[in-house]
Amino acid sequence: MKKAVMLCDKKNRVILAETMSIMKEIWRDMGYEVMELFISEEESPDKYMNKLVELKEDFLVTFAMAGFAWRGLMEQVRFNTLMAMQIHILIGELPQYDFFLQKEYGIHSFFFTDNEKIAKDWKERYSLVPFLKGIPTLYVSERLTEEEKRLNRENLKGVLQTVTAFIEKPSVL
C-alpha cells in the first residue's frame, strides 16, 4: 500500500488537528495509508529521520516547516536525503520561513503557501526552492467552522492534485 506521512511540531498539534484530519481523509480517499508524526525540534532529529527512513513513505507532508531545523554535517537540509516526494505547507507567516526558504532543496520538494508575499517574491528571494505555489488561506484553529473545513478540504485537495499532476506530467519549474 502507498504511504503518506504527515509531520507536525507537537506545539502546533492542537491548532492543526482538524486541518491535518482533513488532509488525512483526502489521502485515504486516494488509497494511501496515512501516519501522523508529531515531532519536537528539541529532540534528536535522528530519532525522527530514522523513523522516516524505516517507513519508506511515498509522500512526506510537513506543516509550518516542522523538522526544517534538522541539519546534516555540512548544514544541508536533512529532508533532502529522503526518497519520498515532499509537500511542505506553509501556513501564515512565521519568522523562521525566511531563513528556511533560503536553503537548497531537492526537486522532489513542493512548497505551498497561503502567504501572498512569499508566493509573489519566491523566484527572486528563494531561488533555491524548486517549486513554490500560492494557495488560498488555510484556516487553523482548535475548532473550525463547517465552512472553514470545507474551504480547507478544497484547498488541500488542490495541493495534492497539483503535485500528482506534476508527477504524472512533469514540466519546467
Mean pLDDT of 40-44: 84
Distance separating alpha carbons of residues 153 and 173, to the nearest angstrom: 26
Contact in structure between 90 and 118 (CB atoms under 8 Å): yes
Closest of 10, 45, 20 to residue 153, by C-alpha: 20
Task: Map grid coordinates 509522500 to a residue.
Answer: 59
- In tens, the pLDDT along 113-133 reads 999 999 998 989 999 999 999
- In tens, the pLDDT along 52-63 reads 888 889 999 999
Virtual torsion, Cα 135, 140, 143, 149, nearest 10 deg:
10
Domains of the chain in sequence order: 2-168 (3.40.50.9100)
Mean pLDDT of 93-111: 92
- Give 152's pLDDT tier (boundaries 50, 70, 90): very high
Mean pLDDT of 80-97: 92
